């Protein structure tokens, strides 16, 4: 065992939190510097235990917790602001890139025909689905009521 190993344990041994094992005891019996360090730590520990601990100021804990919360909130606000700014910038870059690509390819002219075709298809699909809408609305209502009852029953302490 080396002096560096014992130096890490001196405070724990002096406070009684750790008992010296055989290797530490052997080192302390042969090394005057480490034995002196342990003796000094024990005397300091005895002096500190003899002194009364000062009382914390009124509302110390609540003030400290509030300060920590404010600091964390500010840090989160900064991170959120940077993230949101980066997302807006990325969205603007993507939109600018798409606009440039559309302007240089002539795709808007072809996209108008595609939009007309898609809208005609959507209109035809809506005409086919319209007679079934009351059935879908009823099924959705039953599902919502069943989920609401299940949620209520799972949170009720009486059940």
Residues 47 and 14 sit within 8 Å (Cβ to Cβ)? no
Q: With bands split at pLDDT 50, 70 and 90, how would you rate the model's confidence at 65?
A: very high
Mean pLDDT score of the chain, rounded to an integer? 88
pLDDT over 70 at 157, yes or no: no
Long-range contacts (CB closer than 8 Å, 24 or more residues apart) made by 32-41: 33/3, 34/3, 34/6, 34/7, 34/10, 37/6, 37/7, 37/10, 38/10, 38/13, 38/14, 41/10, 41/11, 41/13, 41/14
- The pLDDT assigned to 158 comes to 60
Average pLDDT over residues 16-38: 90
User: Cα(79)–Cα(85) distance, rounded to whole angstroms?
Assistant: 10
Q: With bands split at pLDDT 50, 70 and 90, how would you rate the model's confidence at 78?
A: very high
Residues 43 and 19 sit within 8 Å (Cβ to Cβ)? no
For the ranges 21-35, 38-52, 110-124, 127-141, the lowest mean pLDDT is seen at 110-124
Q: Tens of pLDDT along 86-125?
A: 999 999 999 998 888 777 776 666 667 777 888 899 999 8
């Amino acid at each position: 065992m080396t002096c560096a190993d014992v130096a890490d344990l001196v405070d724990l041994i002096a406070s009684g939190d750790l008992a010296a094992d055989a290797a530490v005891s052997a080192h302390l019996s042969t090394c005057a510097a480490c034995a002196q360090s342990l003796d000094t730590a024990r005397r300091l520990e005895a002096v500190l235990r003899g002194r009364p601990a000062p009382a914390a100021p009124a509302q110390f804990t609540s003030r400290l917790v509030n300060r920590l919360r404010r600091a964390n909130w500010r840090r989160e606000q900064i991170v959120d602001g940077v993230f949101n700014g980066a997302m807006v910038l990325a969205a603007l870059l993507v939109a600018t890139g798409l606009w440039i690509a559309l302007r240089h390819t002539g795709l808007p002219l072809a996209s108008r025909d595609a939009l007309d075709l898609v809208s005609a298809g959507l209109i035809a699909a809506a005409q086919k689905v319209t007679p079934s809408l009351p059935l879908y609305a009823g099924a959705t209502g039953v599902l919502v009521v069943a989920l609401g009852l299940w949620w209520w029953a799972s949170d009720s302490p009486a059940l």
